[in-house]
């Protein structure tokens, strides 16, 4: 294989999104994916694009999520046009709900700074919320509507991204595990059957470390289980988020019920305890789903970082290496922004955002705690 401008290790949503953008910039790009493209966390996710529900405090992380959310509509249109595949992107809005006064007070705290930051949201009387969304539980004590939140079918998204990246000229190699990276005069990727050289490399390996980098990648797997039920009347129109779980109504007629956050190593799997936790939480939000047929259960490994924030930006000692890692619960949401950052860096232009809070060197030792 000829040398490339940009080698991307990892064919999840982040690797594919950067590859697509960089190939659009005219760079020679190759993606190396150990398994099938888009089959790890990016396949398993719930596809919620709810920036405000994910940040507990104002600051750079919240700004990062919002900045990604603002890009979503245009980015998805570009991916759909380039790839020729729909991704079921829907601006559906989110109900944030509280089941106790204590929970309501916590949400109100968050709402104060979010309102000041310009997030559109509205407190709606529970009776009115239940009129609009009859599936919601009767015993909720407070409900808020975030009308601008959105969702995407992440499985369709990764398929569309792969098609889009290929159509604009990126080479996508599945079953191509990178065993190690060698940072000499060239950037070299060692695969079992070949050695490939590149000018620059993006590390987008999700929950997995990669050998040969200037420092250990401080990521770890954080398992999440999900289940899907068939929609039963009355219909659910918006995402519902409570402290014990969430519900995501998909355009294809399923409702996703989530989730668990487990330190279970690299073991995938759905467990009775996991399902019981999810069902307890989800049915407390919408008890009428109790009789809906279960159509699928699955799990995935979120790429966790020591502080829960993503790891983004070039390596401090070798600027030919760019990290797009540790996206934890937000990789689907972050994709349009990470695509832009990675592709701009690959094209050797200044990155249009202060990445200081997200750079790998914030972890003093650079190793997993
Ligand atoms: C249950 C669950 C629910 C979630 N819900 C949401 C949500 O609602 N909204 C949201 O924004 N995010 C959500 N997430 C998080 C989101 O899925 C991740 O943050 C995102 O998918 C990370 O993308 P990635 O490309 O970094 O990783 P991945 O999709 O895991 O891709 C990494 C890829 O790298 C490959 N790889 C690793 N090592 C090598 C190597 N040496 N050589 C070649 N290839 C390699 C892997 O095989 C893998 O395919 C959820 C995650 C889970 C598990």
Determine the pLDDT at residue 368: 41
3-state SS class at 233: coil
**Which residue owns the Cα nearest ligand 1 atom 37?**
205
The closest alpha carbon to 220, from 48, 54, 367, belongs to 367
- Residue 136 Cα to ligand 1 middle (Å): 31
Determine the pLDDT at residue 366: 44
Separation of alpha carbons 14 and 161, rounded Å: 10
Which ligand 1 atom minimizes the distance to the CA of 176?
A: 43
**Start and end residues for every CATH 3.50.50.60 domain found in the chain:** 4-82+154-217+306-362
Cα separation values, 267 from 38, 221, 225, 236, 258, Å: 18, 9, 12, 33, 18
**Start and end residues for every CATH 3.30.9.10 domain found in the chain:** 94-147+220-304
326 CB within 6 A, ligand 1: no
- Residue 207 Cα to ligand 1 middle (Å): 7
Which ligand 1 atom minimizes the distance to the CA of 178?
A: 42
Determine the pLDDT at residue 367: 42
Separation of alpha carbons 188 and 358, rounded Å: 26
3-state SS class at 25: coil
Pocket test for ligand 1, best of 45, 153, 216, 299 (most atoms within 8 A of CB): 45
**Which residue owns the Cα nearest ligand 1 atom 38?**
205
- Take residue 342 and report the two structure tokens written for it: 């990675």
9 CB within 6 A, ligand 1: yes
**Which residue owns the Cα nearest ligand 1 atom 22?**
331
3-state SS class at 364: coil
DSSP H or E stretch at residue 280: helix 272-285
Sign, CA dihedral 302-51-145-230, equals: negative
Determine the pLDDT at residue 53: 81
Separation of alpha carbons 281 and 279, rounded Å: 5
DSSP H or E stretch at residue 124: strand 122-124
344 CB within 6 A, ligand 1: no
11 CB within 6 A, ligand 1: yes
Determine the pLDDT at residue 352: 87
3-state SS class at 187: strand
Determine the pLDDT at residue 116: 94
- Take residue 195 and report the two structure tokens written for it: 């050695």
Four-point Cα dihedral 107, 113, 115, 121, nearest 10 = -20
Determine the pLDDT at residue 52: 85
Pocket test for ligand 1, best of 41, 178, 218, 228 (most atoms within 8 A of CB): 41
Determine the pLDDT at residue 365: 58
Reported for 127-130, long-range contacts at CB under 8 A and 24+ positions apart, including other chains, are 129/95, 129/97
Determine the pLDDT at residue 23: 98
- Residue 153 Cα to ligand 1 middle (Å): 14
- Residue 89: phi and psi, rounded to 5, are -85, 125
327 CB within 6 A, ligand 1: yes
Going residue by residue through the chain (369 aa), what tens digit of pLDDT does each one get?
A: 899 999 999 999 999 999 999 999 999 999 999 999 999 999 999 999 999 888 889 999 999 999 999 999 999 999 999 999 999 999 999 999 999 999 999 999 999 999 999 999 999 999 999 999 999 999 999 999 999 999 999 999 999 999 999 999 999 999 999 999 999 999 999 999 999 999 999 999 999 999 999 999 999 999 999 999 998 888 999 999 999 999 999 999 999 999 999 999 999 999 999 999 999 999 999 999 999 999 999 999 999 999 999 999 999 999 999 999 999 999 999 999 999 999 999 999 999 899 999 999 999 754 443
The closest alpha carbon to 201, from 180, 175, 219, 220, belongs to 180
310 CB within 6 A, ligand 1: no
- Residue 334 Cα to ligand 1 middle (Å): 12
Domain 4-82+154-217+306-362: top CATH class = alpha beta
46 CB within 6 A, ligand 1: yes
41 CB within 6 A, ligand 1: yes
- Residue 327 Cα to ligand 1 middle (Å): 8
Separation of alpha carbons 241 and 245, rounded Å: 6
302 CB within 6 A, ligand 1: yes
Range 94-147+220-304 classified under CATH 3.30.9.10: yes
Q: 199, 320 in Cβ contact below 8 A? A: yes
Pocket test for ligand 1, best of 54, 224, 249, 329 (most atoms within 8 A of CB): 329
- Residue 139 Cα to ligand 1 middle (Å): 36
Sign, CA dihedral 327-284-134-292, equals: positive
């Amino acid at each position: 294989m000829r040398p490339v401008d940009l080698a991307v290790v990892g064919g999840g949503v982040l690797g594919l999104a950067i590859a697509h953008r960089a190939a659009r910039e005219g760079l020679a790009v190759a993606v190396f994916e150990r398994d099938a493209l888009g089959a790890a966390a990016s396949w398993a996710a719930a596809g919620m694009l709810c920036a405000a529900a994910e940040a507990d405090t104002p600051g750079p992380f919240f700004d990062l999520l919002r900045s990604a959310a603002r890009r979503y509509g245009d980015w998805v249109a570009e991916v759909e046009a380039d790839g020729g595949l729909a991704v079921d992107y829907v601006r559906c809005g989110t109900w944030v709900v509280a089941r106790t006064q204590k929970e309501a007070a916590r949400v109100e705290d968050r709402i104060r700074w979010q309102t000041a930051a310009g997030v559109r949201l509205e407190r709606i009387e529970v009776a009115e919320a239940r009129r609009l969304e009859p599936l919601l539980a009767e015993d909720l004590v407070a409900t808020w509507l975030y009308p601008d939140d959105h969702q995407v079918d992440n499985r369709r998204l990764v398929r569309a991204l792969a098609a889009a990246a290929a159509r604009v000229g990126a080479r996508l190699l599945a079953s191509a595990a990178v065993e190690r990276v060698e940072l000499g005069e060239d950037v070299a990727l060692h695969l079992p059957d070949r050695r490939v050289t590149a000018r620059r490399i993006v590390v987008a390996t999700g929950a997995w470390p990669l050998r040969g980098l200037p420092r250990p990648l401080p990521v770890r797997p954080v398992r999440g289980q999900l289940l899907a039920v068939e929609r039963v009347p009355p219909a659910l129109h918006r995402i519902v988020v409570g402290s014990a779980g969430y519900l995501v109504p998909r355009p294809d007629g399923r409702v996703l019920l989530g989730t668990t956050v487990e330190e279970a190593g690299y073991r995938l799997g759905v467990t009775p305890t996991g399902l019981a936790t999810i069902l307890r939480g989800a049915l407390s939000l919408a008890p009428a789903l109790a009789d809906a047929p279960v159509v699928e259960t699955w799990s995935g490994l979120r790429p966790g970082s020591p502080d829960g924030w993503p790891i983004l930006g070039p390596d401090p000692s070798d600027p030919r290496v760019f990290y797009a890692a540790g996206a934890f619960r937000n990789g689907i949401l972050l994709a349009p922004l990470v695509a832009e950052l990675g592709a701009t860096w690959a094209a050797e232009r200044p990155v249009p955002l202060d990445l200081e809070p997200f750079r790998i060197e914030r972890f003093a030792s650079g190793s997993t705690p």
